[in-house]
Amino acid sequence: MKIIRISITIVLISMANLLFAGDGMWLPLLLKALNEGEMQSMGMKLTAEDIYSVNQGSLKDAIAHFGGFCTSEVISDQGLLLTNHHCGYGQIQSHSTLENNLLKDGFWAQSQDEELANPGLFARFIVRMDDVTDKILAGVTKDMDEKERQSVVDKNIEEYKGTLRLKEFHDVIIRPFYHGNQYFSFQTVTFNDVRLVGTPPESIGKFGADTDNWEWPRHTGDFSLFRIYAGPNNEPAEYAEENVPYKPKHFLPISLDGVEEGDFTMIFGFPGRTNQYLPASAVEQIVETLNPAKIEIREKALAILDEKMRADEEVRIQYASKFARIANYWKKWIGESQGLVKTKAIDKKKRFEEEFKMKNRSNPSNVSLLPQMDQLYKANESYAFTRDYFSEVASRNIELLSVSSILGRLVNRYENNGEDAYNGYLGRVKGYLKGFYKDYRPDIDQEVFAALTEMYVKNVNPMYVPDELKNIKGTKGFQMLASNLYGNSFISNEDKMMELLDLEPTAAIEKLKMDPAYMLSSAWSSMIDEKVNKPYNENKAQLDELQRKYMQAIIETFPEKRFYPDANSTMRVSYGQVNGYKPKDGVCYTPVTYLDGVIEKYVPGDYEFDVHPKLIELHESKDYGQYADTNGQVPVCFLGSNHTTGGNSGSPAIDAHGNLIGLNFDRVWEGTMSDINYDKSICRNIMVDARFVLFIIDKFAGASHLIEEMELVHPKGE
Ligand code: ARG
Ligand code: GLU
């Protein structure tokens, strides 16, 4: 039986009749068929071909996946690359020492030979993308089970890749879309010599830190500058001093004319993951069970860290970045749950499902997909809950246990792959541990351990509690356990641990296996693997199959609607407008913030809201040059209704003509549920205004040589 091919490109209905819903992360190569008309009706002056073309330079040639986790864009003909400060954070930190603290003071290379190399960092462009569904699903039939289907798909992918003759640094990535109903291939070219050019100090690049994270009004200059270097003939090459700046096929000119409410905006980048097509039952589970568990655990851990950080400046420095990481998603999940409730996402999904069932009343196999999914989500609930609970407690928040599990991997290398594999991995583990202990306080971690293991035992089904924790009673009991464990473990002590790793592998492993933290970690995780992950994954495989069929059925049931594929770290375009929003009754946010607002938030000496004296001076003298808005102020951030998610950080905000107007770096808190249920009324992305970026480079840093290599334009003729 031949499978039914869904062709979304045939859904070429009259778009003008559709009200723009605002959401969507669209595939650049399908814009012509699906979006061009609508984008132009919203004010865009470009064609789909200007955005994505295989034959000539187009916007896509200026967009690079930055290290695989963020987006970046080329803004000069010499490979100058713009991304967020929080995307370049690891590199900026790695070049920082106490004496030469780039995080604190910022950094501006005065010439190209001062630009700093970053081993391991890459910038990856998309050369072309193609619909390869027919090739990848060839031989797949409806009656195959999931295993068979996957093995045919895997074989087809291998075969297809084998037919391509790729040059060095070129690759092809094949990804499933619409939950496995379609496959697209992406030919990429990767540059491995990407150097740091400039960064503002943290007081600008991270202004407002965790307090302002996910919030509007925002005043963060979240940007940093890198440069792509190439070898001979402008081809990618490994780092070499003699490499030269890359000449891009396209770079983005930068608009000096700024934005007004209602202006067309487009975000071009690599969004990571969304879940737009979950059934109501799955959303309900997220709101009622999974998010609350994760939030509760992080809240506890953050409270402990916060208290310690406030009491001791050294601890604050050691834990600032860990705290930020834990707080980021803690805050996101709270906003997400609240937003899902506020926008009645579950009811909305239920109504959609009723309509789906109605329209499919003569197709019982489609109708049955929903109850089947509901039942499986229910069956998987306690596994999903325990999985999340375990991972938050043992892998993400108790440092001793997460390090133990890395050591567990080292032991596995030895036992499964032998001594060479062990020795190969050992160097990496030692390198990791060196960085780890620098910022590690066993006394603080011990407190986190006691509090979180107590929560685990209280909230998780006793079936999934490891023996070591079973008979512990009361807060005191957990504190005693923690004190014993941390007192007796090698792992919580840097010197003992490093000494242990210098032993012969067999002796080291023997000692490790006697370590109480190691023993707890390995017993706990093998129990979870066996009793939780195994059944969870079996259910998950069935759910994936149902979700694929449901996706296909949705598309066939509503041929008049356009559906965009969930984000999967591939290149996408979102579009919308510059727009404020009303977060709640009586409150109305305007879409642009100004430097005046930075000064309003200024708290001298504060680690989140301090302001650099130079910036205060520029504000006082109103020395804004060509970067002020029509009201005479320098804009800092602005809001848009573009659909974005994690991974879109660093994405360019592009105007109607293809010029850079800003840099995406966050979403508003009330709208973080857009990963599951986008709602035009409160989902907004947050961008740094391009003029603020230029103002900081030029007026604050005095790096006018960088401004000179850019192309500044006046598309509005202002
Ligand atoms: N919320 C943004 C994102 O999800 C920014 C995170 C970095 N900033 C911070 N204060 N943690 O990545
Ligand atoms: N800060 C996010 C990132 O690093 C973007 C914000 C979001 O999740 O939309 O990609």
CB 328 near ligand 1, within 6 Å: yes
What pLDDT does residue 318 have?
87
Structure tokens at 699: 């007026």
- pTM value is 0.94
- The SS3 assignment for 59 reads helix
Low-confidence ranges of the chain (pLDDT < 70): 1-20, 718
What pLDDT does residue 2 have?
41
Q: Tell which phi-psi region holds residue 255, choosing left (phi > 0), alpha (psi between -120 and 50) or beta.
A: beta
What pLDDT does residue 524 have?
98
Q: What is the 3-state secondary structure (H, E, C) of 494-520?
A: HHHHHHHHCCCHHHHHHHHHHCHHHHH
Per the CB < 8 A criterion, the answer to whether 356 and 552 are in contact is no
The DSSP symbol for 391 reads I
What pLDDT does residue 19 have?
57
Structure tokens at 6: 């869904």
Per the CB < 8 A criterion, the answer to whether 701 and 106 are in contact is yes
Domain ranges of the chain: 27-135+149-258, 280-554
Mutate to test the pocket of ligand 1, among 666, 668, 686 (most ligand atoms within 8 A of CB): 666
What pLDDT does residue 518 have?
98
Ligand 2 pocket residues where CB is under 6 Å: 644-649, 665-667
Structure tokens at 533: 């992950």
What pLDDT does residue 336 have?
98
Mutate to test the pocket of ligand 2, among 72, 649, 670 (most ligand atoms within 8 A of CB): 649
What pLDDT does residue 705 have?
98
Separation between Cα atoms, residue 37 and residue 13, nearest integer Å: 11
Rounded-to-10 torsion of CA 469, 475, 477, 482: 70
Separation between Cα atoms, residue 533 and residue 171, nearest integer Å: 33
Both ends of the chain: CA-CA distance in Å?
62
* Cα(628) to centroid(ligand 1), Å: 27
- Report the catalytic residues: 86, 222, 649
Burial (CB count within 10 angstroms: exposed 0-12, middle 13-18, buried 19+), residue 32: middle
Separation between Cα atoms, residue 481 and residue 690, nearest integer Å: 54
* Ligand 2 atom with minimal separation from the 71 CA: 10
Separation between Cα atoms, residue 91 and residue 121, nearest integer Å: 8
Which has the closest alpha carbon to 390: 376, 406, 405, 412?
405
